[in-house]
Amino acid sequence: MAASKLVIVESPAKAKTIGKFLGRGYKVEASQGHVRDMPKSQIGVDVEHGFEPKYITIRGRGEILSRIRKEAKAASKIYLATDPDREGEAISWHLANVLGIDEKSPCRIEFHEVTAKAVKAAVKNPRPIDMDLVNAQQARRVLDRLIGYKISPLLWRKVRKGLSAGRVQSVATKMICDREEEIDIFVPEEYWIVSTDFKIGAAKVDARFTGWGAEKADLHSKAEADDVLAKCENAKFTVSAIKKGERRKNPAAPFTTSNLQQEASRKLGFTTQKTMQIAQQLYEGVEIAGEGSQGLVTYIRTDSTRIADEAMDAVRAMIAANYPPEYLPEKPNVYRTRSSAQDAHEAIRPTDMDRRPESIKASLTRDQFKLYKLIYERFVASQMTPALYDTLSVDIDASTGARFHFNAQKLRFAGFTAVYEEGQDDAAEEASVKNLPELEEGMEARRGELAADQRFTQPPPRYTEASLVRALEEKGIGRPSTYAPTISTIINRGYVARENRRLIPTELGKIVNEMMCKNFPNIVDITFTAGMEEELDEVEAGDLEWHKIIADFYGPFEETLEEADKNIEKVAIEDQVSDVPCEKCGAMMVYKMSRYGRFLACPNFPNCRFTLALPNTIGVPCPKCGGELLERISRKGRKFYGCEHYPECDFVSWERPVKETCPVCGGRMVLKAGPKGTLFHVCVNESCRHRVQIENTANDE
């Protein structure tokens, strides 16, 4: 019997899927990620001799390596099939070293989707290991090791044990701290909105005051608003200008890693880490009834919007077969990839257009189905025609010179929106209506009740994970593979807490950030860090020698490190004492911050380990007894709102109650989300159900 060919991949799930594709004659083993790395007990970089890294077998990988060595000895051919990126190339290089494979020999295979066709094609086209990719990964790893292992001990001595600093995490922490500072120093400015409804012929429209004639005017005080009210009280109104038009709304590009993380956060409420975990499962292979293990999406770490010709043909054929002809553009839609993108992979898309989300729903977990549906529908929509809207813009002038204005739009042709619409971070679009009113210039407009509302400008919003990923990408910080681990790291280190999906710097995070900004300005400098990413890209392209990057960085860094050690004074972080006694030992508990937010802990830790969760009040009185309403989590993980006096008071609501009462019936109202990020206060009275749209002041940026 002929010896089997050995294929080495990273994950057991992928090994299982690929094994079924290749069948007899092949043996598939999983390395379970990296098998070698620099030692944790020392810096592992020879700074005296060209910054060469020292590699050892990772603890716990010995047994895996023994199994792989055994299979390799018996194999007639070895294929290294790790992920198609820098990290995957480096893993293949380490495996080649361990197994004694010549890196210049055709031993490396890569595929961008885990399908039978892609895997079999890859086996037929092996190539040598790409040392430019390996060296780009080594340069990043050595840089991060030097920064982490040189600065972290300094933080341990001066602040607290267990802290760390890093190239990308320090910049991300600084961005969150800077945003918090902007919020702290923000001074709200008062402004007023004067609005009313008009009856024009058979139509009724809502309009806002915009100024005096063609001259725009903002209202900054009650006096200015009252002046508008007074001048409009007895005025006559006529339609002074009508502008009709057409608006085209183009579909969004298929997903990149960053876009997927943002959209999954907006639409599904997933963290970046959860998104990547589920996407990895979809990529590596899921057991599909009647088909076996199948990779459902293409490679998930990409910054490209490029689509393979074969995939383009498949999605266009699917649209042509399932939608009227006007939904398919004459030529494929092509999207521009960011100038900083590596463009090594396609966009994230389904591997088979015949696998409709609903057709395989029974084989997927709930979260897998949600994410797959998101990817599938986004890809289909990206190759459809634009949506078309009829638009109407109307000016209504008072006889006293005040001008009111309203915009409206009506969907004329759904186009891609029949399948998918991108989530919005704010609700700045014109109001959509079923029918645009038929109006003519000169028509009389009969005014309804005038309303003057006081408003205040809002500070910039805190980052969510989605908006932080977008900001990091826009500034060129990190790459698709680093966004999720960066956010996880700064939360796990206690530098940042997640509260109501917002990222808030902790006291520890502020102290470490201030120390880094003062003593290591280059490490937290956005331009410097983005420039470093570009240099790593040059190494990957073969245009820059990787040792030079390290040498250029390390000299000045070492001098900065020495100065910092002299100048930084030890910081004592005092815990804020609460008025709550410990139930175990009686000591007054202190406030602590974890990755999940603030909590109370006994100051006598570790002798006493008692902790207490802080109730999350929402600032709304209980409608039954007047007590505080608390945000709670059900056993199934669903959020609900209940009274602090439970079980004495049994009030409960799945929807978030608000302070405001219904202006129509005086009943209780709750907060509800509408389309495109809009928010409403909705009356709970079934016979009323009055709703009031409110300004969304907590949008992603």
What is the Cα–Cα distance from 101 to 125, expressed in whole angstroms? 17
What per-residue confidence (pLDDT) applies to 699?
38
Res. 427 pLDDT band, cuts 50 70 90: very low
The reply to whether 257-382 shares the fold of 5-129 is no
What are the residue numbers of the active site? Answer: 299
List the one residue out of 122, 123, 133 whose CA is nearest residue 89: 133
Mean pLDDT is highest, among 465-469, 598-602, 622-626, for 465-469
What per-residue confidence (pLDDT) applies to 1?
47
What is the Cα–Cα distance from 700 to 677, expressed in whole angstroms? 10
Supply the mean pLDDT for the chain: 89
Res. 17 pLDDT band, cuts 50 70 90: very high
What is the Cα–Cα distance from 503 to 271, expressed in whole angstroms? 12
Mean pLDDT of 61-68: 92
Mean pLDDT of 513-536: 92
The 10s digit of each residue's pLDDT in 548-557 is 999 999 999 9
DSSP line for 401-455: SEEEEEEEEEEEE-GGGGT-----SS--SPPB-SS-----TT-EEEE---EEEEE
This prediction has a pTM of 0.80
Mean pLDDT of 298-317: 94
Q: Give the CATH fold of the 190-250+388-456 domain.
A: Topoisomerase I; domain 3 (2.70.20)
Question: Dihedral of the CA atoms 53, 54, 55, 60 (nearest 10)?
Answer: -120
What per-residue confidence (pLDDT) applies to 567?
87
What per-residue confidence (pLDDT) applies to 613?
77
CB neighbour list of residue 2: distance below 8 Å, 6 or more residues apart = 25, 76
- The residue among 617 and 117 whose pLDDT is bigger is 117
- The residue among 577 and 222 whose pLDDT is bigger is 222
The 10s digit of each residue's pLDDT in 174-191 is 999 999 999 999 999 999
Q: Specify the CATH number of the domain 138-186+462-567.
A: 1.10.460.10
Query: Which pair of structure tokens corresponds to residue 667?
Result: 């009943």
CB neighbour list of residue 34: distance below 8 Å, 6 or more residues apart = 58, 61, 90, 91, 94
Place of tokens 């990839």: 337
Taking the chain, what is the end-to-end CA distance rounded to the nearest angstrom?
63
What per-residue confidence (pLDDT) applies to 137?
95
Please, are residues 481 and 342 in contact by the beta-carbon 8 Å criterion? Answer: no
Res. 678 pLDDT band, cuts 50 70 90: low
Query: Which pair of structure tokens corresponds to residue 348?
Result: 């994230």
Query: Would you kindly state where each structural domain of the chain is located, as residue ranges?
Result: 5-129, 138-186+462-567, 190-250+388-456, 257-382, 577-613, 620-694
What is the Cα–Cα distance from 127 to 133, expressed in whole angstroms? 13
The 10s digit of each residue's pLDDT in 648-675 is 788 889 888 988 778 777 788 898 876 6
> What are the helix (H) ranges across 112-235?
116-123, 131-158, 167-185, 222-233
List the one residue out of 597, 622, 363, 607 whose CA is nearest residue 503: 597
- Is pLDDT above 90 for 287? yes
224-228, 271-275, 662-666: range with lowest mean pLDDT: 662-666
The 10s digit of each residue's pLDDT in 612-656 is 877 777 878 888 877 788 887 666 667 788 887 777 788 889 888
3-class state of residue 346 by DSSP: coil
3-class secondary structure for 614-628? CCEEEEEECCCCCCE
For the chain, what percent of residues have pLDDT higher than 90? Answer: 69
Res. 481 pLDDT band, cuts 50 70 90: confident
What per-residue confidence (pLDDT) applies to 637?
60
Res. 697 pLDDT band, cuts 50 70 90: very low
To which H or E segment does residue 57 belong?
strand 56-57
Angstrom CA distances, 127 to 5, 245, 323, stand at 16, 56, 42
Question: Dihedral of the CA atoms 286, 288, 291, 293 (nearest 10)?
Answer: 20
What is the Cα–Cα distance from 486 to 168, expressed in whole angstroms? 7
The 10s digit of each residue's pLDDT in 558-590 is 999 999 988 888 877 777 788 889 999 999 999
Q: Specify the CATH number of the domain 5-129.
A: 3.40.50.140
- Is pLDDT above 50 for 426? no
What per-residue confidence (pLDDT) applies to 428?
46
- Is pLDDT above 60 for 341? no
Q: Report the sign of the C-alpha dihedral through residues 451, 456, 460, 463, in that order.
A: negative
Mean pLDDT of 521-537: 92
Q: Give the CATH fold of the 257-382 domain.
A: Topoisomerase I; domain 4 (1.10.290)
For the chain, what percent of residues have pLDDT higher than 70? Answer: 93
What per-residue confidence (pLDDT) applies to 479?
85
Res. 700 pLDDT band, cuts 50 70 90: very low
Query: Which pair of structure tokens corresponds to residue 206?
Result: 């809502």
Q: Are strands 77-80 and 5-9 parallel, antiparallel or unpaired?
A: parallel
Mean pLDDT of 424-430: 51
Res. 156 pLDDT band, cuts 50 70 90: confident
Res. 676 pLDDT band, cuts 50 70 90: low
What is the Cα–Cα distance from 112 to 120, expressed in whole angstroms? 12
290-294, 320-324, 594-598: range with lowest mean pLDDT: 594-598
What per-residue confidence (pLDDT) applies to 140?
94
What is the Cα–Cα distance from 533 to 525, expressed in whole angstroms? 13
What is the Cα–Cα distance from 635 to 44, expressed in whole angstroms? 46
CB neighbour list of residue 193: distance below 8 Å, 6 or more residues apart = 208, 209, 219, 452, 453, 455
3-class state of residue 90 by DSSP: helix
What is the Cα–Cα distance from 112 to 121, expressed in whole angstroms? 11
Angstrom CA distances, 18 to 6, 7, 235, 270, 346, stand at 12, 9, 77, 29, 20
What per-residue confidence (pLDDT) applies to 614?
74
What's phi and psi for 599, nearest 5 deg? -155, 170
